[in-house]
C-alpha cells in the first residue's frame, strides 16, 4: 500500500470512498466538532451514491467516514486520494503547493458551481425577545452576542467576515466605518471557548447571551432539535456566501478505475437526488428546482463572496487574521477600553 500524508488540507470532515485501491476524501463546510451536521449529510450522500454506482456499473463501492479536528492537517494512509472538497479557497491554494497532489482547474472556467452553499445567520431565543433582525441590532448596548473565537476557529472567522462585509457594503465601502462596526459588535461578544461547540453550549445549555452567530444549517438543526419553544432562526438581510470547492486530485486517480468513480461522485452531488439531500440538511441547493422546493426555509438574502469584499481568502487572512491584523487591532482597542476606569 502506498502512503500519502496530506499536510495541506484543513477541514472538519473527511469521507474516504474506496473501490479496491481507489479512495476519495471529502471535506464538508462545517467545522463544529461537537455535532458536525455535514457528517450526517455526507452519510446520506454516500449511501445514495453507493446505490447509484451499483445501479450504473454493477460494482459495489464502500464509503468510510473519517474525521479530523478543524485546523489540523488531514493525514490519511490510502492507496489513492481522488476527490477533495474544501470549505475554503485558501485551502485549495495550499493544496496546489503540495508536490504529491495536484488540483486541476475543474472550476476555471466553471462548468459547475459548488454543489451547495451555506451562510452565517442568527439563532435567538424563542419569540426573539430582543427583536434582533439584522447585523445593526447586534451593536446595541443591551445585546450580548455569542460567537466562536475568530482567532482559533473557522466558524468564528466566517462570522467576523460576515459582520465586516455587512458594514463595509452598508457604508458604501468605508473600511473605517466597517472597523468601528465590528469593534462595537465584538464589544458585545461573550468570550467563547476556542471550539465552535463551546459557543453552542454556552448559548443553549448555559443560557448565556441573546444571540448565537451560527452556520445556517447548524442553526436550523439546533432549533429543530431543541424545539420552537426554545429557539428560532433569524435570517439577516445580508451575509457571507460559503462555497465548498470540489475537485479531482491527479496523482493516483487513474488507478483501478478511480478517476471514473471520483468524477462520478462529484457529478452525483449535482443530481436532483443529492440536491434534495442537501436541502433536507439545511444547506442551500444549487439546483433551481431544489432551491424552490426548500424556499420556505431559506428566506432571500443578499449574499456576498470572499472575493467580492475581501479580495480572496489569502488577502482576508493577511489583512484581518495575521499577527497585527485588523482583528488584533480590534481586540487591542477592546482591552484598552476595558482597562480605563
Q: Does 303 fall in a domain?
A: no
CA angle (233 as vertex; 226, 213 as ends), nearest 5: 95
pLDDT at 48: 92
All cell numbers assigned to 163: 459582520
pLDDT in tens, 63-119: 655 443 443 333 333 333 344 444 445 555 555 555 444 444 444 444 457 888 999
pTM, two decimal places: 0.80
Answer with the residue of higher pLDDT: 249 or 288.
Answer: 288
| CATH number reported for the structural domain that contains residue 94 in this entry | 3.40.190.10
- Determine the average pLDDT of the residues in 229-248: 86
Q: Which residue has the cell 479496491?
A: 20
pLDDT at 107: 43
Contact present, 195 and 148 (Cβ < 8 Å) = yes
pLDDT in tens, 170-187: 999 999 999 999 999 999
79-83, 153-157, 193-197: range with highest mean pLDDT: 153-157
Peptide bond into 67 cis (omega under 30): no
pLDDT at 255: 55
Cross-strand pairs, 116: 285
Q: Does 7 fall in a domain?
A: no
pLDDT in tens, 163-174: 999 999 999 999
**How many structural domains compose the chain?**
2
pLDDT at 43: 80
Does residue 140 have a pLDDT over 60?
yes
Based on the domain organization, do 104 and 160 belong to the same domain? no
Based on the domain organization, do 217 and 165 belong to the same domain? yes
Based on the domain organization, do 30 and 93 belong to the same domain? yes
Based on the domain organization, do 69 and 103 belong to the same domain? yes
Q: What confidence tier does 235 reach under pLDDT thresholds 50, 70, 90?
A: very high
Based on the domain organization, do 329 and 204 belong to the same domain? yes
Based on the domain organization, do 203 and 57 belong to the same domain? no
Domain assignment of residue 21, given as a range: 13-116+243-297
pLDDT at 260: 73
- Residue 289, classified by CB atoms within 10 Å of its CB into exposed (0-12), middle (13-18) or buried (19+), is exposed
58-62, 129-133, 156-160, 242-246: range with highest mean pLDDT: 129-133
Q: What confidence tier does 243 reach under pLDDT thresholds 50, 70, 90?
A: confident
Based on the domain organization, do 197 and 335 belong to the same domain? yes
Is 10 strand, coil or helix? strand
Based on the domain organization, do 48 and 151 belong to the same domain? no
Based on the domain organization, do 110 and 231 belong to the same domain? no
Longest dimension (CA), the chain: 74
Amino acid at each position: 500500500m502506498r502512503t500519502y500524508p496530506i499536510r495541506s488540507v484543513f477541514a472538519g470532515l473527511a469521507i474516504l470512498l474506496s473501490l479496491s485501491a481507489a479512495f476519495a476524501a471529502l471535506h464538508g463546510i462545517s467545522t463544529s466538532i461537537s455535532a458536525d451536521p455535514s457528517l450526517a449529510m455526507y452519510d446520506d450522500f454516500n449511501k445514495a451514491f453507493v446505490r447509484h454506482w451499483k445501479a450504473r456499473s454493477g460494482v459495489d463501492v464502500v464509503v468510510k467516514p473519517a474525521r479530523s479536528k478543524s485546523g489540523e492537517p488531514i493525514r490519511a494512509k490510502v492507496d489513492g486520494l481522488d476527490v477533495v472538497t474544501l470549505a475554503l479557497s485558501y485551502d485549495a491554494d495550499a493544496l496546489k503547493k503540495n508536490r504529491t497532489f495536484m488540483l486541476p482547474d475543474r472550476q476555471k472556467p466553471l462548468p459547475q458551481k459548488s454543489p451547495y452553499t451555506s451562510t452565517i445567520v442568527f439563532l435567538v431565543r424563542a419569540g426573539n425577545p430582543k427583536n434582533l433582525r439584522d447585523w445593526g441590532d447586534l451593536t446595541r448596548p443591551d445585546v450580548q452576542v455569542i460567537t466562536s473565537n475568530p482567532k482559533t476557529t473557522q466558524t468564528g472567522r466566517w462570522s467576523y467576515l460576515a459582520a465586516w462585509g455587512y458594514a463595509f457594503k452598508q457604508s458604501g465601502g468605508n473600511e473605517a466605518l466597517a472597523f468601528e462596526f465590528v469593534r462595537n459588535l465584538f464589544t458585545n461578544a461573550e468570550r467563547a471557548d476556542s471550539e465552535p461547540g463551546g459557543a453552542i453550549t454556552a448559548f443553549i445549555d448555559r443560557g448565556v447571551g441573546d444571540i448565537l452567530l451560527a452556520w445556517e444549517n447548524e442553526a436550523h438543526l439546533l432549533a429543530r432539535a431543541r424545539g420552537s419553544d426554545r429557539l428560532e432562526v433569524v435570517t439577516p438581510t445580508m451575509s457571507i456566501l460559503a462555497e465548498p470547492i470540489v475537485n479531482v486530485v491527479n496523482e493516483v486517480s487513474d488507478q483501478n478505475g478511480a478517476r471514473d468513480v471520483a468524477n462520478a461522485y462529484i457529478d452525483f452531488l449535482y443530481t436532483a437526488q443529492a440536491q434534495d439531500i442537501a436541502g433536507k440538511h439545511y444547506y442551500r441547493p444549487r439546483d433551481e428546482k431544489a432551491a424552490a422546493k426548500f424556499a420556505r426555509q431559506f428566506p432571500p438574502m443578499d449574499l456576498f463572496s470572499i472575493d467580492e469584499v475581501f479580495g480572496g481568502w489569502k488577502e482576508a487572512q493577511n489583512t484581518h487574521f495575521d499577527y497585527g491584523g485588523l482583528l488584533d487591532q480590534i481586540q487591542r482597542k477592546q482591552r484598552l477600553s476595558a482597562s480605563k476606569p
